Every structure is written in structure tokens, then in C-alpha cells.
Amino acid sequence: MAKTILILGAGTGGLVAASRLRRMLDREHRIVLVDRSPFYTFAPSLSWVMLGERKIGRLSRDLRKLERKGIEFITGEVKSIDVNARNVRINDTDITYDYLVIALGVEYSAEEVPGLNRAWTYYHADGAEGIQEELPKFAGGRVLVVAPSLPYRCPPSLYEGAFLLDHYFRKRKLRHAVEIAVYTPEPVPLREAGAEIGEHLLEMLRDRDIGFTGGVTMKSVNHEKKLANFHEVDPVPFDMLVAAPVHRLPYVLHGTGLIGEDGWIAVERDQLSTVAPDVYAVGDCNSVEIAGGLTLPKSGVFAHGQAEVVARNITAEISGKDPIWAFGGQGACFMETGGGRGSYIVGNYFTDPPKVHMRKPGRTWHLAKAGFERIWLWRWF
């Protein structure tokens, strides 16, 4: 009997799940992919866009072209999800599914922090292009790089931004006139990766004369007085504020009965199943427990791995086989450090404690990230 697999969200997790399912299942089965935007953008390279080293057009692909591969793509807004009726409303149309894969990621918000909406950000395409236009005008002062709250996507990206800005101002011979400081709720950098990685990153920041203040959450921003206000410390003056948005669960997922105590979709960590039959959640919208009372970082590499597992298990079930695939908590990501150099963070986050390693910064990892960008876009489009 033909099945309909509905995938909500065409970021990394949704794209991989749809592509894998289409390759493994007969064409009698429908693969339906939904996203509010018809364009996919390769987010790991947005920090390069910030510096003018990439154009958005190079990083974007038209999701509607997936139709030629047999994936039905719908540009639309998810209005409601009824897991009991196995029904999702997209715009004004109801779609009934046999399997549902939720990959809606996070919503960016500034409502929780007054004034945050006027901060610069490289966490989306428009923001990265905005910083690219602003940086040449900046002649000196204090630059704050801030995560206003936890969690936020790809934790190394905050530090990557600080390192790249450091190199940018050195290249312009302005570094002596620019103070750069990171403020984050994390008590130490990349706390999910373990104390050793955090201390190593602190040392890297010190070597580059980049300040670090951990354990602070942003309260508000006064742009007239150029003050960043935190709950735990005195107001911090700034001349340029670069901040991640507040990350929150997409509103449409509230009321589905899928949300756990921490406010994200609760999943079984091996197979990413939810409390609803035949409903899975992959990527940033879910919550996966790891050692120390923490949760798996929100990162594209984990969304990718989870989508592979879900796609294979759905295929097995439809084919009458046992769904034996399990997500193992392994992941790796690149972190640019400026000057054509980068680092590579790799490990297993399901061990206790996590076994994570950071490679020494070098040109090899920078070139590897550039290569990964090209391969990713070629492979999935």
C-alpha cells in the first residue's frame, strides 16, 4: 500500500530526510517536503558572508527543483498539526500522512530582550549581509559578540564570529582601536563538549585578546546610550553589538502534545521517535539528553545524522523489515579562526563524559570547510 511521508521544514534535517527517503523508497510512495521559503541557504558559511567572502547566491539553492527528483515540494506555512488525526494543515490545505518527520528547526525572536531586534547578527542571510555593509564604516570602539540566551544553534559559531572579526580588524590595521568581547550564558565555552575543550577555547580567546564573560543572560539593549544590559552584571558599553537571536520552538508545535519539560520536542534519542505514533522530530526542534544534565547541541551535523536514521527506519518499516538504525551521538563541525585557518571539533556526545576533540587550528581545516560547502550543495541538489 502506498504511503505518504510528510516532512515539515527544509533545513538540513528535512532536506536529508526527504532525499534519503526518495532514493530508498519506490515511487508509489509520496515524499512531501514543506517549507515557508522556496530557497535553502547553507548556514555554516554565513560568517563568511559577514566578511564579504561569500555571496548569498553562491550558498542558496531552489528547493522547487527537488520536484525533478520525485520529491513534492510545497512552499507554505504550517498552520496546525493534529497527530491524533494524522493531519497537517499547510496554508489552507489539509494533508494526511502515514509518517510525519518534524524538522522545523527554531524560530528566531527578539521579543524576549527589548532592543535586541536592532542588534547586528550573522545568524541569517539578511543579517550577515547587513554586517558586511556596516563593517567598512566601523573605525574603532568596543564590539560585543553576544548569545543572549541558551540554547543557540551551532555553539562554535559564536566564537567563530569573534575570531573572524578579530582577523578582519587586524587586516585593516585597526585592531589596536577595537576591543572585542564575548558574552554568553555558558559558564565556559562549548560546555557540552567538556571542560578540556572549554579551557582550550578560552586560551585561544586570550591569545587573540578577545574578552570572555560567561554565565550571563541578556536583559535588554539601550541603543541610545549604547548599553547592553545583563541580569548578572553591570551594563556593558558597546559601539557595535553583534548578537545571536533568541532561539525558541516554532509556535505551531505548541499544543501538539509533543513538547517535553524543557520546552522542546521530546524524542527517544536512538530513533528520534516522539510520543505520537509514526511521528519523528529531527534537528534543532528536538531535545536529546546527554551526560551531566545537558542536551545535545543544536547543530546541522546532528540534524543530518538524525535524519539519516529516521529515513532508514521508516524505509525499513514500510518494507516490512525491522527498524534497526540508531543515532549514536557522533558529530563534527568546523570553526573558522581567521586568516585562512580553522579548527575541527569532533567526537561522541553520548559517552559519559562526552569524548570530544578539537584539532589545532590550521589552513587544512579552513580548506576542508570550503570543500565541504561545495560538496554539500552538490550532493543534495
Q: What was the pLDDT predicted at 27?
A: 96
Q: What was the pLDDT predicted at 282?
A: 98
381 within a domain of the structure (yes/no): no
356 within a domain of the structure (yes/no): no
Are 185 and 276 contained in the same domain? no
Tens-digit pLDDT profile for residues 187-234: 999 999 999 999 999 999 999 999 999 999 999 999 999 999 999 999
264: domain range?
A: 4-106+249-318
Q: What was the pLDDT predicted at 49?
A: 98
Are 119 and 78 contained in the same domain? no
Are 118 and 230 contained in the same domain? yes
Are 131 and 154 contained in the same domain? yes
Tens-digit pLDDT profile for residues 109-165: 999 999 999 999 999 999 999 999 999 999 999 999 999 999 999 999 999 999 999
Displacement of CA 73 from its chain's centroid (Å): 22
Q: What was the pLDDT predicted at 342?
A: 97
Are 17 and 77 contained in the same domain? yes
Are 114 and 99 contained in the same domain? no
346 within a domain of the structure (yes/no): no
Q: What was the pLDDT predicted at 3?
A: 98
> 3-state class of 375 per DSSP?
helix
Asked whether 356 and 193 are in contact (CB, 8 A), the reply is: yes
Are 63 and 98 contained in the same domain? yes
Asked whether 155 and 190 are in contact (CB, 8 A), the reply is: yes
Tens-digit pLDDT profile for residues 17-70: 999 999 999 999 999 999 999 999 999 999 999 999 999 999 999 999 999 999
Arithmetic mean of pLDDT, 339-357: 96
Please report the beta strands in 59-147, taking only residues with DSSP state E, as ranges in sequence order: 60-62, 72-75, 78-82, 87-90, 93-96, 99-102, 107-109, 141-146
Q: Look up the pTM and report it.
A: 0.96
Are 295 and 216 contained in the same domain? no
Q: Which of 219, 246, 273 is the last residue of a domain?
A: 246
Q: What percent of the chain has pLDDT over 70?
A: 100
Are 74 and 135 contained in the same domain? no
337 within a domain of the structure (yes/no): no
Q: What cell does 314 get? A: 521508516
Residue 334 neighbours by CB under 8 Å, 6+ apart: 44, 342, 343, 344, 345, 365, 366, 368, 369, 372
Residue among 148, 246, 158 at smallest CA distance from 205: 158
Q: Which of 267, 291, 318 is the last residue of a domain?
A: 318
Residue among 230, 234, 232 at smallest CA distance from 218: 230
User: Where residue 202 sits, what CATH number does that domain have?
Assistant: 3.50.50.60
Q: What was the pLDDT predicted at 325?
A: 97
Arithmetic mean of pLDDT, 365-379: 97
Q: What was the pLDDT predicted at 64?
A: 97
329 within a domain of the structure (yes/no): no
Residue 379: pLDDT band with limits 50, 70, 90: very high
| Average of per-residue pLDDT values in the chain | 97
Q: What was the pLDDT predicted at 186?
A: 96
Arithmetic mean of pLDDT, 299-319: 97
Are 57 and 72 contained in the same domain? yes
23 within a domain of the structure (yes/no): yes
Query: According to the 3-state scheme, what is the secondary structure of 15-33?
Result: HHHHHHHHHHCCCCCEEEE
| Number of neighbouring beta carbons within 10 Å of residue 273 | 17
Handedness of CA 9, 15, 365, 165 (dihedral sign): negative
283 within a domain of the structure (yes/no): yes
Report d(CA 73, CA 64) in Å as an integer. Answer: 6
Q: Which of 299, 318, 337 is the last residue of a domain?
A: 318
89 within a domain of the structure (yes/no): yes
Q: Counting runs of H as helices and runs of E as strands, what totals does the chain give?
A: 8, 24
Residue 252: pLDDT band with limits 50, 70, 90: very high
Arithmetic mean of pLDDT, 294-313: 97
